[in-house]
Structure 1
Amino acid sequence: MAGARSWTAGIGTAVGAGVAGLAAWDLLQRKHTILRRYPVVGHLRYLLEDVRPELQQYFIERDWDGRPFDRDTRALIYERAKGVNEEKPYGTELDVDRVGHEHLVHTTAPLEAPDEPARVTVGGPDCARPYSMALLNVSAMSFGSLSANAVRALNKGARMGGFAHDTGEGGLSPYHLEHGGDIVWELGTGYFGARTKDGDFDADTFRDTAAKDQIKTVSLKLSQGAKPGVGGVLPAAKVTAEIARTRGVPQGEKCVSPPGHKVFSTPTGLIEFVARMRDLAGGKPAGFKLCVGSRVDVLAICKAMIEVGTAPDFIIVDGSEGGTGAAPLEFEDHVGTSLTEGLMTVHNALVGAGLRDRVRIGASGKVAGASDLVKRLVQGADYTNSARAMMMAAGCIQAQRCHTDRCPSGVTTQNPRRARALDVGDKSERVYRYQKATVDEAMRLMAAMGVRDPAELTPAQLRRKESATQTRSYAELYEWLSPGELLDQPPATWAADWAIASPDRFGPVAAALR
C-alpha cells in the first residue's frame, strides 16, 4: 500500500513539474499570444484548431473565433500572416450558383504579374508633397481602443512593408512613432491631439505635429461606417494619464467626441477647412473620410470643390459594414450606406463633376482578401484600407470582447498584463506578411484578368449572379457617368439630386428636398 502511494505521489510530482515547465515555456515564448496570456489551458484552442475539420460545426462556428468574418476568410488571414502556403486540395467551398455571388472575369490570355506591386500617387494639383500609397493599408484605429503593443505591431509592420498606418481619431501617440512607419494622421470631431481646452481646433498644435516627417497625409473624419452620425464617449475611468496626454484632454474626466464638427457647417466650409489642413501640414496631402448618407450631400461637396477652386487630395469611403470596438446596435445595423454603393456614388459624383482626376479614393469596410481589394478597385477605389484583418494579423481572435477591456489576445485592451501577451516583434512580422501576400495576390488576380495597372480595370470585369439563369456585369448593373457629364447635361437619374445640391448646406434641408 505504501509503495502504491509512493508511486502515485511520484506520478503526481512528475505531472506537476511537467505542467509547471509547460507554463513557464508558454509565458516565455513569443509566437502565440493566447499561450502568453493563458499558459497551459491555451493549448486547448490549438488542439481544437488541429481537429477543426471534424469539430468546426460545433465549436468554430459557435463564436469560438467570433462571427464577423466567415471561417474561410479567418483562415485566409491567419495563414497569410503566418506565412503558410494557401494552396489546398479539391476546390471551392462556395456555392457559385447562389444568387448574389460575384466573380472576377479572367482572360484567355493572362499576363505575368509585375515584379513590384502597383502604388497610387496621392496628391492633387494643390499638394506640394504627394505621397505614394500602397494598395492595402492599415485603416483607422485609435490608441485607447487598441493597446500600445497593438499600435506598435501595426506600425512596425507598416514600416517593414512600406504601407500606411492610419492613427484613427484618438490622437498621435508615441507608439505610432516608435518604429517609423508611415502615418495617416486622422482628426475627428474631438480634434484629439490638436485641440484647445474648450474642444475647438488648435491650428498651432496641428501645424507642429503635422510637420513630423513620419506623418505623410492628414485626414479629417466626418463619419465612420460602424456608427455614422454618432460621436463617441470614453468613460472617465478609462481616461488614463497616457491617453489624456495623447488626446489633449483632462485625465479622469469623460472624453466626448461630438456628432459633428465645430469648425465648419457647410460643404464649402468643409472644403476650405481641408485646404487649410493641407497648408498647415506644409503641403502634405489632405482629405476626409465619410460613410455616405444622402447622395445630395456628396454632390453638394462636389459643387463646393468647384466653387472654392480646390479639392481634397483624397476621400476615404467607409462602408456601413465596417466594424468598431463598441457601437450602438441599431446604428451599426441600420444606418449608413454599404461600401459598394457608397464607393460608386462618390466615384461617379467626382467623375460627373469633372473632379475625379484630382481626387484619389480609398475604400474601407471588411477588406480582407485580394479579391476584396480588386473588387473595390473595379468599383471605383484607387486603394484600400483594412482594420479588422490587420487586427487579426496582429493576433486578434475575434473574441468580441473589445468593449470590456478583457481582450484575450492583448489587442484591444489597456490592461498591461493582457497587453503583454502581444509580442510586437512576432506580430509585426505577421502584419507585414499578411499585407504583402494579399497585395501580391491582388496583382496576380489582375494579371489573370489581363491588366497590370489597377487603372486599367473596368466594371465589365466584375460580374454578379442575378438569378438562376442570369449573370450580369457591373457595367450593366449600374450607371457610370462620363467625365463632366453633370456639368454638361445631367442624366435623368441624377438631375434632380444635382439641382438640389448646394455648396451652402448639408443634411436635413437637402435630405428633405430629396
Structure 2
Amino acid sequence: MLYIFYFILFLVINQIIYDRYIQRKRQLLINYPLIGRFRYILEALREPLRQYFANEDFYESKDKIDWVYNASYNNSGYISFSPNQQQPNPKFLIKHSNIVLNEDEINQDISVIFGADKKYPFVSKSVISRSGMSDGALSPEATKAYAKAAYEAGFPINTGEGGLTTNFLFTHRSFDKSYMDIITLNKLDKYLYIVISKLINHHTAIKLIKSKHVKKGEIDSYVFDRERLNMYRPAWDKPLENFPKQPPKDMPDTIYQLSSGFYGCRDKEGNFSPNRYKKAMSFCKATEIKLAQGAKQTGGKLVASKVTPSVAYFRGIEPFKNAYAPNRFNNIQNLKDLFDFVATLQELSQKPVGIKIVISSKDGFKELVQEMKKRDENCQQGVPDFLTIDGGDGGSATAPLFLMDRVGLEAKDAIFIADTILKEFGLRQKVKLIASSKILTPDDVIVNLSLGADMVAIGRGFMLSAGCIRAKMCSGEGSHNCPVGLATANVKLRRSYLIRQQSKKIKSYHENLLKGIKTILSIMGKNDIKKLSHEDLTFVDKNSFIHADINRYLDKKIR
C-alpha cells in the first residue's frame, strides 16, 4: 500500500512541476497547478451530472423525462402523492368535461391524410411521427432500431437531411436484384454465421461475415438479412424503371427530408438530380423540404468523424470531410423559386410535398401564405401539402449555441399563428400542420393538436426511448461521442447498441403515448381526436392569471 501511495505522490508532483514550469497553454495552471486541475475536472462533470441532482428546467419537469423512460420500458406511468417537480407557469391547462367518456368509446382511427388531391396521397396510421434524424447523425444501429419500431408500431419516420439509406429498409424483404445489390453467402459462410451466432452472438457473427465480403469502408451500407442469410443495399446506379412503383409494404412509412445539400438526390456537381430523387421516392410516402429547424436556421452540419464511407456513399459526398450544407438552396432565390421547387417535386413524385420552417413573426409567415394563396387562386402547382412548424427551442446534435433558443418562436405560439393565418386565407383544409419541438408526453401532444396541429413530430422523446441518457455528446466533434452508441460513428461504442431490444422500447413509447392520449380524450369528453380545438385549452400566465379564452390571449400576446 505504501508503494501505491508513493507512486501517486510521484505522479502528482510531476503534474505540478509540468503545469507550473513547462506548459504555457493555461495560465490558471501556472499559478494554481493542482487546484486548477480540479476546476477543469469539475467543469467537465458539471453538465453530465446536472441531470441527476438539479431540478429539470428545460422540459418543464423531471417527471416528464421519467415518464418517457417508463413508457419505453412499458412500466406504469403512475406516481404517488404528488409530482416530484411541479410544472411551472406559464402553461396550458386541458379542460375536462362534466360528463367524461370511457376509453372504449374513443374513436380508434387516428390517421392523418396528406396530399388528398395527389395521385398517391400519404395516409399516416398515427398522429405521431418521428422527426428528422439522419442516418449518420445517428448510428446505423439506431436507424435500424427506429425503422423496425416504426414499421411494427405503424408510425411515420423522417429520414432527416441525410436522405434514404439501407438502414431505413431494415425490415424490407420483398426485394429482388433488379434494384438491389445482393451478396449471397455460400454454404461455408452460412454455417460459420450460424455457429458463431450460437456460440457468441449475432452481432459478432454479422461483423465477421461482412468483413469477409464487403469493402471495409462500405460495411455499414449493407444490411444483413438474418433469415435469408444475405446482404443487400439499394443499387442507385440501376435504371429508374427497375425500382418499385410504390413503396414496399414491408418497410415503415418514410418521409424523405430534402435539405440544401441535396443529400441522397444530388449529381456529381452537388446539384439536385431528378432521377436520383425519383429512385429514393420509390421507397418514400412524402417529401419534406427543410428550410430551417429550431436549433439552427443554417444548413445542416455533420462533422468529418461521422462522414464514414458508408454515409458518403448514400449522401453522394466525400468521406471524412465535414458535410456542411449551405444555408440556402442553390436553386431558391425567393419565395417564387421555393414554391416552384415544391411544384417540381410534386410533379416528379406525384406525392405530398411539405416544408419545414421556423416562424419568427406573423408578418413573416403571412408572406409565405400570401404566395401560397396566389398560387391556389391561379390553380398553380406548388402549394405545399403540409408545413412542419419547428419551435425556436428545437433540438439538434450540432448547432451554434448563439442560435439555440434565440431565433424563432416557441412551437405552441407558432402553431397557433400558422393555424389562424391559414384559416384566414382559406387554405387550412389543404395544408396540414405538423408541430415539432419539446414534445415528450401525451399532454404535450394534446396541447399541440388543440392549438391546431394535425400531427406531431417527436425527436427528443424518441431519442430518450431509444436509450439516450442526455450526455450531450452527440456532435462527434473532438472527444464528443455518444456513450450508448445511439448517435455516434465510433465503432466500439456502436457495438453496444442492441437493435432489437431498443426497437421494442421505441415501439412501447409510441404505444404508451397513444394510450395516454386516449385517456386525456376521455376525460375531455372527446370521442375523436379530430374534434380538438383552441376552446379545449385554458392558459395560466407566469403571474397565475387564468385566460379562459386563449384566442383572445394569444392574439394579444403575438402581434
Instruction: Normalising by structure 1, report the TM-score.
Output: 0.77
3-state SS in 2 of match to 1:328: coil
The CA distance in 1 between the partners of 2:543 and 2:319, in whole Å, is 60
**Residue 101 (structure 1) aligned with residue 98 (structure 2):** no
Match runs of 1:62-461 below 5 Å:
62=54, 70-93=61-84, 95=86, 99-113=89-103, 114=106, 116-179=108-171, 180-212=251-283, 215-228=284-297, 230-281=298-349, 283-309=350-376, 310=381, 311-404=383-476, 405-461=480-536
SS in 2 for 1:403: coil
| TM-fit CA distance, 1:92 | 3.4
Give the Cα–Cα distance (whole angstroms) in 2 for the partners of residues 59 and 271 of structure 1.
Answer: 43
What is the CA deviation profile of residues 331-359 of structure 1, one whole-angstrom value per residue up to 9, with x for unaligned ones? 01311221012111211121111000001
Q: Is the 8 A contact 2:369 2:425 kept in 1?
A: yes
Q: 1:378 to 1:210 in 2, by over 3 A?
A: same
Q: In 2, Cα distance between the equivalents of 1:350 and 1:133?
A: 24
* Letter paired with 1:222: L
Cα displacement (A) at 1:451: 1.1
CA contact (8 A) 1:147 1:414 kept: yes
Deviations 1:33-73 (A, max 9, x none): xxxxxxxxxxxxxxxxxxxxxxxx9871359x997674211
Q: Residues 324 and 115 from structure 1, CA distance in 2 versus in 1: closer, same or farther, beyond 3 angstroms?
A: same
CA distance in 1 between counterparts of 2:384 and 2:146 reads 26
The secondary structure found in structure 2 opposite 1:121 is strand
Distance 2:300 2:492 in 1: 26
Aligned to 1:478: 554
Contact 1:66 1:399 in 2 (8 A): no
Change (3 A) 1:89 1:66: closer
- Give yes or no for contact 2:107–2:527 (8 Å, CA) kept in 1: no
Q: State how far apart, in whole Å, the 1-side matches of 2:253 and 2:261 are.
A: 23
Closer, same or farther: CA 270–226 of 1 in aligned 2, 3 Å = same
Structure 2: unaligned runs, 5 residues or longer: 1-48, 172-250
Provide the secondary structure at the position in 2 that maps to 1:134: coil
Give 1:217 shift.
1.1
- Of stretches 181-190 and 86-95 in structure 1, the one that deviates more from structure 2 is 86-95
- The TM-score normalised by the length of structure 2 is 0.71
How far did 1:88 drift? 2.2
In structure 1, C-alpha distance between the alignment counterparts of 2:57 and 2:469, rounded to whole Å: 7
Asked if structure 2 preserves the Cα contact closer than 8 Å seen for 1:66 and 1:397, the reply is no
Take 2:71 and 2:387, find their aligned partners in 1: how far apart are those partners?
A: 29
What is the total number of aligned residue pairs between the two structures?
421
Distance 2:50 2:328 in 1: 44
The 2-side partners of 1:92 and 1:432 are apart by: 26
Q: Which residue of structure 2 lines up, in the alignment, with residue 45 of structure 1?
A: none
Shift of 1:295: 2.8
- Aligned-pair distance for 1:320? 1.1
Q: Secondary structure at the match of 1:356?
A: coil
Structure 1 residue 127: Cα displacement: 4.9
| Higher mean C-alpha deviation, range 400-409 or range 162-171 | 400-409
The 1:240–1:383 alpha-carbon spacing in structure 2 relative to 1, beyond 3 Å, is same
Distance in 1, Cα, partners of 2:89 & 2:364:
32
Counterpart amino acid of residue 421 in structure 1? S
Distance 1:58 1:326 in 2: 21
